[in-house]
Amino acid sequence: MKIHIFKFTAIVLIVAGSFSSCEEDISSSESIVAKVKNADEFSNVLVVKLMECDFSFFSRSVELARGDWKDGGFTIVLPKTLNLNTMEALIHSNCYPTNTMVVQPTMTISNENAKIKNVQFVGFEKNDNAVASFTLFKADKMDIDQAVFTYVDSDVTISGYTKVEGPANPQLGHGDYNRFEIITTYSVEWKKGWNVWFYSRYPHKIIDNTAVTTEQWTSIPVSSLQWRGSSLSIDF
């Protein structure tokens, strides 16, 4: 597996916001060459599409590029131009940033007005039904590492950390502890254009009857990631 891309960088942004009215040129096109580890499970896939996906409103998903499924994988050339009308705001007007955590004083964001576009790799069968999604990731015991592919309309750096805590809730599968705490650190540097960045989550540790979970968003490449597919049933 090899990735040809502009720069390695990372975070998962699930936000919405204002839009630009123009298209942006990327200086050159780059290719993503993916060899899927469990490719034998997806013999019904004919084509893989680079999708700007909104899994809350499937009809809003837009195809940006595509590549044939061949020899257990696919190659997709990133588009030189994108319609920035569908770019999402980095931060909601209600101060929610790149994930569902509230912006805290312990975070520093160089450009809160930046807009982003996240993409997914979706496999389609002959009837143009979405049957699989493909992700570059690694699962080692309880550790999870995942690459995220994002286009950003301007340079951005994000640093610092956030902390979320509260009482344990048995209905959410919380174990034998009274409270939970999630600490997320950020060391992200995006350059205008296409970026790849990385999310890591580690098993929680029980400290003073509190389950402490640590997460990380980073621009530093994570080693030993593999392309894997998972079944999907969505009508785009």
pLDDT digits (tens, 9 = 90+) for 43-100: 999 999 999 865 444 456 788 999 999 999 999 999 877 777 778 888 765 565 555 4
Sequence spans of domains, the chain: 2-154+222-234
Q: Of the given ranges (85-94, 152-161, 209-218), which has the lowest mean pLDDT?
A: 85-94
Taking a C-beta distance cutoff of 8 angstroms, is the pair 134, 227 a contact? yes
SS3 at position 169: coil
Give the mean pLDDT of 15-43: 60
Query: What is the separation of C-alpha 125 from the centre of its chain, rounded to a whole number of angstroms?
Result: 24
Q: What's the sign of the alpha-carbon dihedral 40, 42, 47, 50?
A: negative
| Predicted local confidence at residue 235, as pLDDT | 55
The structure's pTM equals 0.77
| Whole-angstrom distance, CA of residue 68 vs CA of residue 47 | 4
Structure tokens at 36: 């899927």
| Whole-angstrom distance, CA of residue 180 vs CA of residue 167 | 6
Please check the confidence at residue 126 and state whether its pLDDT lies above 70: yes
